[in-house]
Structures are given as C-alpha cells and as structure tokens.
Chain A
Amino acid sequence: QWMFRSLDMDLYEADDQPSCEASDPTQTEDPPSKKLKLETLQAGDDGGTETLTANAEPKVQSEICVACLGVLQDFCDQSYTTQVIIEVLFIFPKLHQSYILLLDNFMLITPGVKIQSGFEVSVGFTHAETDGDCHFLYVATTCSDCFKPTKNKASVFTRMAVVKALEKISDQKFLSNYPCPPVHPATRCTPLDTTLLHASVFIAGRYNKFSRELPQTPWVIDGERRMEGSVEELIAGPLLSSFRADGFNFSSSGREDVDVRTLGNGRPFAMELLNPHRARFNKAEIRQLQETINTSSDKIRVRDLQIVTREAMGRMKEGEEEKTKTYSALIWTKKPITHTDLDFIKNIKELKVDQKTPLRVLHRRPLAVRQRVIHSMSASFLDTHHFKLQLHTQAGTYIKEFVHGDFGRTKPNLCALMDSEVDILELDVESVDVDWPPAVPE
C-alpha cells in the first residue's frame, strides 16, 4: 500500500487513495502551472519546453505507470488476483528511483508489507524493456564489487546484488546515471506463471559417524561417485519422505574426513528442507523420526533432533574460532619409544601452531597461514612404535598435519617435538564443544 501526503505542491495533489494514474483530476482548485507540470511529466519530458495550454485535456490513452510497470494498473482486478496473500515482485531500479523522487516531495509511509507465512504464492512479472536498467550499477565503480560473476547463475544482476548496490550508491551518483523522473515505459510488463512454495523447515541435531568409509557429503569427481553414501544423505532420506520435501541443504559445525569417526555427543548439524508439503510435527513424531534414522544405518547416529528457526542455522557457524574440539589419534613412530619418552606431552599447554594451508586441500583453499592453539594433550603408551594421543584444540586445527608436519608447513609439529618421523594411523573426533542445538531429553 502506498500513501502519499503532499508537503510541497510541486508535482502531485494531495491524494489519499493509492493511485497510479498521474492524470487523476484534482479536487481543489489549482493554479494553471500545476497542470502544466503534470502534463510535462506525462509526455515523458523532464523539464521540457513545450507549452501546453492550461486547459489541455490529459491524454486519453492509458499511460503505463513508471513505478509498477502496469502491475497495479492491469493485474490487480478480481479476475487476476487470488484470495491468498500475494507477494509481488518489482524490478528494483524503478522502485528505487521513484522512492528518491517521492522522498524529496512527500512523506512516504513504508511501501510494501513483509508478510510471514508458511505458504507463499509468487506472482511474478517480467519486463524486457527495463531489464537492462540496473546495469549501470555495475559500471559505477563504487558498487561494482557487489556483483560477483559466478558460472552457476545466469545473470550477475541478482536481487540481492542490486539491493546491495543501491544501498551503497549515493543519491547524487544514482541520479547522475539514471533519469529522474524515469522514462515512461512503452510496454507493460508480462505476467509469469504463478508459483507456489511451502516455506522451508529447519531441522537440527547432532550426528555420530561410526564408519571410516563414509564421507560427510557425497564424494563425486567428474560426475562419478567415488564412494557410496554420505552422512547427509543418510540423515536426509527419512526426513525428505516424512516432510514430503523436494530437496535439502545440509550444514554442520565443521566437518570430518572420510576416514575419521565422530564419537561422543556428536557434531551439530542443521538441515533446510525445501518446499515441505508437510511441515507440522509434534515432539513425539520427531522422536520417531530420529529412531527411524538411527535404525536405518549403523554407520551414523542422530540425537537431539528438533525443528528450529532459520536464524538458528547461523548459530552453528558463529563462534567457530572460539569453539574447541577433542580428538584421539593412533600415532606411529619411526624411532622406538618408551613410556618416559611420552612424559613431556602432558606438560604442553596452549601450544601455538602455525599451519600453512595443508597441501591436501590447497587445490581448493586459498594459500594462507593460520595460527591455532592446542590447549592440552595426553599420551598413552601402546608399544615401542605406537601410542594413543589425546588432544584438546581450538576449532579449525588440522590434526593430521600437526602430527606429520605436512612437509614442515605446520610448525611446531609432533615430528619435531618427538625428534622422530611420526605418522597418524587413525583419528577420532571425541567431542565438538558447541552447546547448540539444545539437548532433547530422551
């Protein structure tokens, strides 16, 4: 809903009704110059010199509104609208441009009302004529960094990117690159198919991984599946069918390698279920779902399964630097060892470690040095060439590289500390010290 209150009688008359027809006849008497300005605008001239008589009739042919491109003019009658809540999408530059114009002249009360709903009806419109309108934002150097070229998306001008750029650009710069008032469109927009969408449901929990041959996410190289199954697919399976969802996005507080087990309370995860046709589940039903997942495979286990909000998803990633994890590793040493050789390990506290990006992930991560802290360690002797090492470290520490040194690119490392070539044979995550999601009593 738009409401205009005129503060300065420059362009339009005071009008309580939402209206898109600029040629609305005024109720009160107005000086001739006012009508003149009105018609100058209608003709599409900004400050044109054509003189029109004060009594000239407004144009009869309907003008396409420069702000809504015809949506509110032609697509709002009963036959087009439905009775459910409609979310209408505008192409932004037109909206923004009018907003500036109106800010100068009117006190504008919030355009559009964001409605929260579990079910969304999208009525979209396309207007080829104005598709290129926002392109000037890319050229304007102050906000060209908002547009990141990705191979996946068809166009770099996504709604998010345009909104960001519009926030960045100054009013003056905007107005110097884009006509104000805007050029009248020659054509009205055309409607797209109406789409219906169920709002996503977010489900969180903690998972254990008991297999050393299970990746967290599907392992695919060149379109070929390298290893069957994955943690996310095992969890998603029963959820997708119960919620009757079209797909999912899996997110977790960190990851473990294929050959690493996740023990203890497990690792927090959250899953967005897309377009769920059934979204309401009570606690008992969720508990049942958890049981189903747990009986479906002995490779994983899920606990504390619960429905959460979208905001909760962000909680997992927050505090990633501050959180800690504990690990247990099976270490092999080249040099034969005795019990006493391991004594020094329990005395190491708050060891700062500089880790260059490990070579095994360097192909897909930027080259950098990360400083991490190993809070404490302890060791248990097994035999002359093996011992068990427990570590309590800052989140983000690469344990395997701390043990073997990654060609000396992690310093200090266990090889150097023990003055012997050492290697890690097995690794387990014993705990992920994040206190979210809240525990669900069994």
Chain B
Amino acid sequence: CVFAMEEADKTAPSVTDRYYTRWYKTDMKGKPCEDHCILQHSNRICLITLAETHPILQNGRKIKNINYKISDGCSRLNNKVSGKSKRGGQFLTEFAPLCRITCTDNMEYTVFSCIRGRLLEVNEDILKHPDLLLEKPSTDGYIAVILPKLEESKSITNGLLTREQYEEVVSKRTSQQQEPC
C-alpha cells in the first residue's frame, strides 16, 4: 500500500477529518465572533473547541487565567462520572458555561456548551499549559467532552452550522468590513 501514500499525504485526512464532523455556533450569546466549534464523533461523543475565528485566538493574545469554576456552587472540575453510563456527570444545556478565560489584555470570555448533554470531562491540561489552547485549539487544546443523550444525538446539531455555513458567515463578516475581533 506504499503507492497510494505519495498522493495521500497531500490531502491526507487527519484523525479529525476521518472520524469527526465539524459543527459551528457563531456569535455565541450575541457576542461578535465568539465562535465555537463542536467536533462530533461518529459514536455521538462531542468535543467543544474554540473555532479559529474566536477572539482569544486573534491578535497574538495571551491567556492569563482559565477558570472552570463558573459559580459559587459549581465547578466543572468537580465533575465526576462513573461506570459505563457515565452517571454523575453534570447535565448541560446549550447555554451552560464551561469556563471563563481571561486574557492578558483583561478581555474576559466565556466558553459555552453549545449542545445538550452530559459533561464527561474538561481539559485540565490547558490549566497547566494555556498555550495549548492557543497553539492547538482544535486538538490538544479542546475545552470539554460531552455525551449527548442517545435519543438526542441527531437533534443536537439542529441549532448548529455546518462547515460550509460557517465559512459563509465568516466571509460575510469580512465583506461587511466588521471590526476584526
């Protein structure tokens, strides 16, 4: 199989391309450009990540702090699941906050769940290495892993945009010459 390889590597689909579908939520909660990208695996598990157009990833911003404690009574770090059915995981709705990120320029951003489902884990690596989020936002810098209910695994994408739709939204922004985020 050495033969197909030479051609393959130019367009080599990555692990993400092969197993995940990209969905997008733009201007989350009306905030301009706060775009999220949801990677949906064929087994229905979803990864919440920052889309490449998110303000945190623009203009060479640096991260000062990432806080998974979203309220006095709730920290995503306390999330514990057990067993095959992942009992105990916090149930999230679309607008449930996952974490708050503060940049060195004191801009504060909240990352949201975007989909309904059970929180399985949040990425603790970015607490120790915030640069991961800046350098590899679509892989090692993911924010959280969510398991939607079996019955809802198809409907959760109803409120989300496909890759093509997302690209349209982005190109409209540039053409309307909006403030770069």
Instruction: Report which A residues bind B (CB closer than 8 A).
Output: 330, 332, 356, 359-367, 382-383, 385-386, 404-405, 407-408, 421, 423, 425-426
Contacts and interface: CB of A to CB of B under 8 A. Distances in A.
Contact of A360 (B6, B43, B136): B43
A407 B39 CA distance: 11
Contacts of B140: 405, 407-408
B contact residues, range: 20 to 34
Contacts of A407: 47, 139-140, 142
A408 B120 contact: no
A385 B9 CA distance: 8
A367 B155 CA distance: 25
Contacts of B84: 364-366
Residue of A362, A404, A421 with highest tally of chain B CB at under 10 A = A362
A345 B123 CA distance: 29
Interface stretch (B12-20, B63-71, B172-180): B12-20
Given A359-B41, A363-B147, A408 B2 contact: no
A360 B44 CA distance: 9
B164 interface: no
Contact of B45 (A332, A362, A405): A362
Contacts of A332: 5, 8-9, 12
A51 B136 CA distance: 90
Contacts of B147: 362-363
13 contacts: A359-B47, A359-B145, A362-B120, A362-B145, A363-B43, A366-B84, A383-B6, A385-B9, A386-B2, A407-B47, A408-B123, A408-B132, A408-B140
Interface string B96-116: 000000000000000000000
A367 B12 CA distance: 30
Contacts of A356: 121
Interface of B: 1-2, 5-6, 8-9, 12, 14-15, 19, 41, 43-45, 47, 81-84, 86, 120-121, 123, 125, 132, 136, 139-140, 142, 145, 147
Contacts of A425: 1, 5, 8
A408 B132 CA distance: 10
Contacts of B86: 366-367
Contacts of B44: 363
Contacts of B9: 332, 385-386
